[in-house]
Structure 1
């Protein structure tokens, strides 16, 4: 099951879809036991509006309950990161700075993030690049046989934004931030 729904690129689209077409979020089967026919099980709120006012917070995220195993799962729009509070665009900006040779300290200063956060994101990406590259290259052969973390991710980010790359990896069943 895809945890990320590709159809909703912005928070505004997501909010409209939750009200007008909530079935677009319903998974076809349980990710835990494979049983089909999950029931809507309310919503939980996520802080997803990173603008100064944050008027759209909390954004409702639909949850579903399996009638067979009684476990729940949720589906997120592409505009909300599954495991990080920060927006995909900010993560891409930080990683791009690092990929083009800026230091941790400089990337943190330019983005207003702590060095610890930047270091954690950079380490996370480096650790998973080989696995991610294998899956992305199998889907996008134009990524070619690039060598090294920086070369691969520069090629990938020139082809698609980080949110799209992570959504494809999520579709393949990999854990993304």
Structure 2
């Protein structure tokens, strides 16, 4: 099951989509048992607006769906919200860009950015999963195949599609993050 809905790139778009087209978030089938009958089961709220310059839209609703077979619930996130992460993809991308440039300090925690240990974790995660991510992304996007090396590849990903879209594409085949 794709956990990320591609094409919803901002919290404003997400809030509007939940109000007008919540069915866009309905999974095709239950990720637990595979039954294809899921009913809307309210929503939960999540703090997602953690960008420095963004006005707070918190908390944002995340639609939940309940399986008629196994009675478990599931949900899908918009492209702009990272699963199981405190900061969204754009903040992570900016911090990782700084690392790719060779800067050890990105956004400062005292200015509302992520802590350096958090950025280190993201960097280690990207390094550890990088080969698998590169393989799948290069297979889908020919222009990424021209980038030689880890740093050049991720710079090209950030420039061409961004971390959010790359992770949404990868979500179909892999578990991200």
Q: Distance in 2 between matches of 1:51 and 1:125?
A: 21
TM-score (norm 2): 0.89
User: 1:58-77 maps to which residues of 2 (within 5 A)?
Assistant: 58-77=59-78
1:69, CA displacement in angstroms? 1.7
Any unmatched runs of 5+ in structure 2? none
1:42 is paired with a residue whose SS is strand
Match of 1:107 in 2: 106
TM-score (norm 1): 0.89
Match of 1:131 in 2: 132
Q: Is residue 39 of structure 2 the alignment partner of residue 39 of structure 1? A: yes
1:51, CA displacement in angstroms? 5.5
For residues 64-99 of structure 1, the C-alpha deviation after alignment (integer angstroms, 9 at most, x for no partner) is 111112221101111211111112111001101101
Q: Distance in 2 between matches of 1:130 and 1:17?
A: 34
1:107 is paired with a residue whose SS is coil
- Structure 1 stretches of 4+ with a deviation exceeding 3 A read 51-55, 108-112, 145-148
Q: Distance in 2 between matches of 1:51 and 1:161?
A: 16
Quick one: structure 1 residues 87 and 163, their matched pair in 2 at CA, closer, same or farther if it must change by over 3 Å? Answer: same
Q: Determine if contact 1:42/1:63 at 8 Å carries over to the other structure.
A: yes
1:162, CA displacement in angstroms? 0.7
Match of 2:19 in 1: 19
1:26, CA displacement in angstroms? 0.9
CA RMSD of aligned residues (A): 2.0
Match of 1:80 in 2: 81
1:145, CA displacement in angstroms? 5.3
Q: Determine if contact 2:41/2:65 at 8 Å carries over to the other structure.
A: yes
1:2, CA displacement in angstroms? 1.1
